Structure 1
Amino acid sequence: MSEIDPRDPAQLPADLAQSAALIEDRREARHLRDEAFSAFYRNEIKPLIRYLMRQGADTALAAEAAQEGMLRAYTA
């Protein structure tokens, strides 16, 4: 019986290799999405909190509302 290294796509049957490639592509896409959202979050959270405070929210409420909005945007 031969040993197959599942980490080596060259040793996997074609359909499994394609599945492994698809999974890796999705991981990379998720990583890129997370990095992009993280940059967006860092750039926009403080201005969003300030905006909410100008609309009448106190600091704690503005921060909580901004965080909730960012969470909804991320999971949408």
Structure 2
Amino acid sequence: MTQKVLRVGTSAAVTIPKKSLKELGLKIGDEVNINIDRDKKTVLIKPVFGLSPETAKIAKLTLNFINKYRKDLEKLANS
């Protein structure tokens, strides 16, 4: 498949046809990893499924906080 590199503001973008998005299970706004192989001059785009490591860490910290302070948080919510 051949696609053009488009200007988007001061950046560049390559469009992905709707059919390809569907085949990959992607939708507008989803995150993808982009790997560049400079030797082979290739770009590999892979869908990101699940939480990123950063998001997973934040979720874990948030859950720990809620569990630790649950009673106080419930009091605040009911006041």
TM range (shorter): 0.3 to 0.5
RCO (CA 8 Å, sep 6+): is it higher in 1 or 2?
1
Q: Give the number of the structure whose residues are more often helix, by fraction.
A: 1
Larger Rg: 1
Q: Give the number of the structure whose residues are more often strand, by fraction.
A: 2
